[in-house]
Amino acid sequence: MDGNYYMIYDYLIFFGVFAIFLFLALSIWLFIENRKIRRRNTKLSGINKMIQQRLDEVQLEQIGTKLNPHLFKNILNSVQSHAYHTYRSLDKLANVLDYILYESNRKFVSPKEELDFALSLIEINKIKINPLFDFRIKSRINTSDEVYEERIFAPLLSVDLIENAFKHTDFLAQDSFISIHLGLENRIFTMKVSNKASLKNVLEKEKSGFGSQSLSQRLKMIYGDFYTLTKTSKNGMFTAELIINLGVFYDKMRYS
**Where are the chain's structural domains?**
1-57, 63-255
- What pLDDT digit, counting tens, does each position of 106-136 carry? 889 999 999 999 998 898 888 778 778 889 9
Name the amino acid, one letter, at 58.
Answer: V
27-36, 83-92, 118-127, 212-221: lowest mean pLDDT where?
A: 83-92
Give the pLDDT confidence score for residue 62 in this predicted structure.
45
Residue 116 to residues 68, 71, 201, Cα–Cα distance (Å): 18, 17, 29
- What pLDDT digit, counting tens, does each position of 184-207 carry? 999 999 999 999 876 555 444 444
Q: Are 189 and 146 in contact (CB under 8 A)?
A: no
pTM over cut 0.85: no
Alpha carbon distance 57, 34 (integer Å):
34
Which CATH number applies to 63-255? 3.30.565.10
